[in-house]
Amino acid sequence: MGVEFVATVGAGVLFGLALAAPPGPMNAIIAEESVVRGWSAGVRAGLGAMIADVVFFLLALAGLVTVIERAPTLRALMVTVGGLLMLYFARDAADSVTETLRATDDSTESYGFLKAFVLGLTNPYQLLFWLTVGVGLLTSGQLDVLAVLPGIGDELAGMVVVQTGSVALLSGLFGGIAFWILSFPAALVAAGNRVDSLAPVVAAGSAVVLAGFGVIFLWDGLTTLL
Dist. CA 12–CA 165, nearest whole Å:
11
- Mean pLDDT, range 174-185, rounded to an integer: 93
- Band of residue 122 on the pLDDT scale cut at 50, 70, 90: confident
Q: What is the pLDDT of residue 97?
A: 62
- Mean pLDDT, residues 88-99 taken together: 69
- pLDDT given for residue 103 in this prediction: 44
Of the candidate ranges 4-8, 9-13, 101-105, 198-202, the one whose mean pLDDT is the lowest: 101-105
How do residues 157-170 score in pLDDT, each as one tens digit?
A: 766 667 777 888 88
Q: What is the pLDDT of residue 102?
A: 47
| First-to-last C-alpha distance (Å) of the chain | 55
pLDDT at position 104 is 46
* Residue 134: pLDDT over 80: no
Average pLDDT over residues 108-128: 78
pTM of the model: 0.71
Q: Is the pLDDT of residue 215 over 70?
A: yes
Give mean pLDDT, residues 24-50: 88
The pLDDT assigned to 199 comes to 61
